[in-house]
Structure 1
Amino acid sequence: MNQNTVKISLDLVHIDVARNATDDFNLFHDKKQWQQITGNPFGGPIVLGFQLECFIEDYIKQYRQQNDELNTLEQHQLKFSNYSFNFVGVARPKDNLTAIIKKSRIYSEDKTVLSNRVVIKNEQGIVLMGFKSNSNVPLFANEQGLFPTFNTKEVFDRTTVDESDYFYKRKYTTNSNAKNFLTGSSVEQSNYFDEVNDKILFPETYCTSLISCALLERGKANGLDFKRNPMVYTSHKISVHSENVAKLRSDQQLHILVGPPINKVTSGKEQGSVLLTHYCIGLNQDKSVLFQGEIELAPLSYILHK
């Protein structure tokens, strides 16, 4: 077979559990306040993008095990997990979702990559599309000097770092939040946490999901009107340092930096439409890198225009 197909079912309670576990207060996911968003076309709360990516993370993990690809990861030292997804539509509670995972491909030029194309659809069409891959170098946001250096003890939560305009958000790991995020993403939590047998494995996408909280906090600090001028994700491009994430334990301090928005003006028929890209990085308490990436957003008005 060239692809695997699996069904996903997420209810409203899954959304609540996932957003509570990650402190995501985006009104698009709120079962009561979604109606307060001006021009909201979605007709109700929608699933978190990181929920879908968590399901993909777990499914690809099982796929690697079942297809004897773990040796490939070790042989080529593919220590980085990369998530590159475009959000084409939205998923709603009780949608009949189908994830299509294409057969693994490995290729090597200046870097070695083991990759799977992924598409998630509902009855209306494509919700998400892109790839999940493993590589021997991070594929995204790896430009030299991209992120500022700083002393975590001298920076206050929800402030900017020096002159860089990078917004700093401090978080703490808890097993319970990670378990709830897994459950909210329709993933079996015992595959990651079993304290009786000393099994503790924080999902990569739990760490990256905290980007949403940091972005929302940044928007709030800068006066963004979440009701009249909300932003929506258009793409995620994130590289995770898998070995560093595997060392995480409960009650560890995390440091998340979200850069200032970079304007991107599209060309062609949509010339003049503005997309905003934020570079972001997540660090463990010892300042080892957990993830790095670029998050692209657009105003809801842009999406409605499209």
Structure 2
Amino acid sequence: MNEQPFTFNQIHIEAARNASDDFNLFHDKHKWLQITHNPFKGPIVLGFQLNAMIEYQLYLHREAHHENRIISENGLRFSNYQITYVNAVRPDRELYLDIKKTLIKTIPELTLSNRISIKSDNKTVLLGSKKETQTPLFLADTDFSNLPDLNTLPNCSTVPDSPYFLKRKYVNNGNAKNFLSGSLAEQAVYFDELNGLVEYPEMFPCSLASGALLLKAQIEDRHDFKRNPMVYTSHSISVNREHLRELNNNHKLHILVKQLPESKSRTLNNTNIMLRVYECYGLLEDTKVLFRARLCLVPLEKLLNGLYNPPIG
């Protein structure tokens, strides 16, 4: 267990949500009150913000234990996150991150893995793992060869003859730095223009998927975010670090979102609450797949009507 507690303040939430275009009312210091039956009694920290904090602390862990050499020498170019959100995180509360000892497995392929958890007020708020692999662990078989040239399509539109909603973003160093600062990460580890250091963190481009989901719901479904709010239950993410190194200031990123039909085969913790599952991809301008993510959500109402009782507080 990390003996040093972490604390997010509202300014950290503001920095992270502004940098990632996340306009979810749950994070707004004023508009959280407009959410019907909001149990959180104030703004809450972004899921991707917690992910980024974990990314940075695992970077420090790898450095301290000389594990980056193993990753480099064995071509472990995929960084994989499996995160389950157990509870919401409020600002001004102490958090404790626990990173378990790194396990190295060779079957079926070489993998470095760490189990992680975050606790606050002696309650678990997040569980998960991070694994370094040669191949992506999530959505590895998706084929984009039949897609049209995404550069020619309107922003915030449906890709013709496909199930994908397209959100186009131009990443920039300033937003990435703000996202890092909002996630309690040291931006100087990733950016030092005087010395030619520009290395985007793994979670920043992935975090832009949240804004894409919000826009898809707003444009296609005319979703009412006040009366029918949704909350994340889990993230499963694979990031290609080799492609990440190609990302630079003002580079174009195509974010593709595919919503899966609700199914009784995909429910929350064996309850009858069906998950809202989205497959999200970040493609560089030359269609290289930067990240693959499966994001699961449920309506807040379902969590509060007695069908499921998470430790919200």
* TM > 0.5: yes
Report the AA paired with residue 149 of structure 1: L
Is the counterpart of residue 46 in structure 1 residue 44 in structure 2? yes
Q: TM-score, normalised by structure 1?
A: 0.95
Contact 2:268 / 2:274 at 8 angstroms: preserved in 1? no
Partner residue of 2:231? 232
Q: How much has 1:267 moved relative to structure 2?
A: 6.6
**CA 1:268–1:63 in structure 2 vs 1: closer, same or farther (change >3 Å)?**
closer
2 CA distance for matches of 1:191 and 1:54? 13
**CA 1:267–1:240 in structure 2 vs 1: closer, same or farther (change >3 Å)?**
closer
Report the AA paired with residue 247 of structure 1: E
Contact 2:190 / 2:201 at 8 angstroms: preserved in 1? yes
Out of 104, 108, 118, the position equivalent to 1:106 is 104
**CA 1:268–1:113 in structure 2 vs 1: closer, same or farther (change >3 Å)?**
closer
Partner residue of 1:282? 282
Partner residue of 1:137? 135
Partner residue of 1:245? 244
Is the counterpart of residue 12 in structure 1 residue 5 in structure 2? no
CA-atom RMSD in angstroms: 1.7
SS in 2 for 1:215: helix
2 CA distance for matches of 1:94 and 1:262? 38
Provide, for residues 71-121 of structure 1, a one-character-per-residue CA deviation record: whole Å limited to 9, x for no partner.
210232100000110000011010111100000001122222101101011
The residue correspondences of 1:190-201 to structure 2 (distance < 5 A) are 190-201=188-199
SS in 2 for 1:219: helix
2 CA distance for matches of 1:82 and 1:6? 25
Partner residue of 1:128? 126
Q: How much has 1:4 moved relative to structure 2?
A: 4.6
Q: Which runs of 5+ in 1 are unaligned?
A: none
Q: Which shows bigger deviation, 121-130 or 82-91?
A: 121-130
**CA 1:5–1:238 in structure 2 vs 1: closer, same or farther (change >3 Å)?**
farther
Provide, for residues 239-271 of structure 1, a one-character-per-residue CA deviation record: whole Å limited to 9, x for no partner.
000111112110111000010233142579964
Out of 137, 156, 159, the position equivalent to 2:157 is 159
Q: Which runs of 5+ in 2 are unaligned?
A: 309-313
Out of 182, 199, 202, the position equivalent to 2:200 is 202
2 CA distance for matches of 1:269 and 1:289? 30
**CA 1:13–1:273 in structure 2 vs 1: closer, same or farther (change >3 Å)?**
same
Is the counterpart of residue 68 in structure 1 residue 75 in structure 2? no
Report the AA paired with residue 236 of structure 2: K
Provide, for residues 204-258 of structure 1, a one-character-per-residue CA deviation record: whole Å limited to 9, x for no partner.
1001000100000001012111001111100000100011111211011100001
SS in 1 for 2:277: strand
Contact 2:2 / 2:96 at 8 angstroms: preserved in 1? no
2 CA distance for matches of 1:194 and 1:268? 43
Q: How much has 1:146 moved relative to structure 2?
A: 7.5
Higher strand share: 1
Is the counterpart of residue 78 in structure 1 residue 45 in structure 2? no
Q: How much has 1:279 moved relative to structure 2?
A: 0.7
Q: Which shows bigger deviation, 150-159 or 174-183?
A: 150-159
Q: How much has 1:179 moved relative to structure 2?
A: 0.4
Q: How much has 1:154 moved relative to structure 2?
A: 2.4
Q: What fraction of aligned residue pairs are identical, expressed as a percent?
A: 42
Report the AA paired with residue 260 of structure 2: P
2 CA distance for matches of 1:150 and 1:125? 48
Is the counterpart of residue 223 in structure 1 residue 222 in structure 2? yes
SS in 2 for 1:239: strand
Contact 2:239 / 2:291 at 8 angstroms: preserved in 1? yes
SS in 2 for 1:132: strand
Report the AA paired with residue 293 of structure 2: G
2 CA distance for matches of 1:267 and 1:294? 14
Partner residue of 1:300? 300
**CA 1:271–1:50 in structure 2 vs 1: closer, same or farther (change >3 Å)?**
closer
2 CA distance for matches of 1:269 and 1:252? 39
Q: Count how many residue pairs are aligned between Structure 1 and Structure 2.
A: 304
Q: How much has 1:6 moved relative to structure 2?
A: 4.1
Provide, for residues 120-160 of structure 1, a one-character-per-residue CA deviation record: whole Å limited to 9, x for no partner.
11115111110011111000011243786231122111111
